[in-house]
């Protein structure tokens, strides 16, 4: 599959959120969406990133953004993650890896010299018309919101 680029139409998807509700990208037409992909609930980097988005959520909303986190964890894992860290935004369960594959973020990773398949942490900013505005591949997990706003202001 061809790699997504800024200016491309964002691939459409429908998946279940942490409450078992069906959510589609089309639900957010007319809003700017921060669609961030992360490897796993409750891991240090993913928790730092989610908490940064939580801490800056009102500020991002006031700028017209909706935040959606996506990982291949299931709904119950997302629900626990949301409750443990009081996350105010949507977490999508992508257990069948449909969304991570559409967005090209599922790939080979390396840890301690072992190769395995996983989600590459990536953030997409999708505009009101469903077009990819920005792609951030080297995410600063502790300062994800500030990094995002800085990238958008350049």
- The tens digit of pLDDT for each residue in 106-129 reads 999 888 899 999 999 999 999 999
Indicate whether 75 pLDDT > 60: yes
The verdict on whether 51 is a catalytic residue reads no
Indicate whether 89 pLDDT > 90: yes
- Tell me the whole-structure pTM to 2 decimals: 0.95
Domain range list for the chain: 14-153
Q: Which of 4, 10, 33, 46 is catalytic?
A: 46
**Quick one: pLDDT at residue 110?**
86
Residue 50 burial (CB count, 10 A): 26
Which tokens belong to 119? 């989600």
- The tens digit of pLDDT for each residue in 4-31 reads 999 999 999 999 999 999 999 999 999 9
- CA separation, residue 12 to residues 8, 27, 100, 108, 124 (Å): 12, 10, 12, 24, 13
DSSP-derived 3-state class of residue 61 = helix
- What is the Cα–Cα distance from 129 to 114, expressed in whole angstroms? 40
CATH of domain 14-153: 3.40.30.10
- What is the Cα–Cα distance from 154 to 152, expressed in whole angstroms? 6
Which tokens belong to 69? 């986190």
């Amino acid at each position: 599959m061809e790699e997504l680029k800024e200016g491309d139409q964002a691939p459409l998807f429908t998946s279940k959120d942490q409450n078992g509700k069906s959510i589609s990208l089309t639900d957010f037409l007319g809003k700017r969406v921060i669609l961030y992909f992360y490897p796993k609930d409750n891991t240090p980097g993913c928790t730092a990133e989610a908490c940064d988005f939580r801490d800056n959520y009102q500020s991002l909303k006031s700028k017209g953004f909706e935040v959606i986190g996506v990982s291949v964890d299931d709904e119950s894992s997302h629900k626990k993650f949301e409750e443990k860290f009081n996350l105010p935004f949507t977490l999508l369960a992508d257990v069948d890896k449909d969304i991570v594959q559409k967005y090209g973020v599922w790939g080979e990773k390396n840890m301690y010299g072992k190769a395995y398949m996983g989600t590459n942490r990536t953030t997409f900013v999708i505009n009101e018309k469903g077009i990819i505005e920005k792609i951030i591949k080297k995410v600063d997990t502790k300062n994800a919101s500030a990094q995002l706003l800085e990238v958008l202001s350049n």
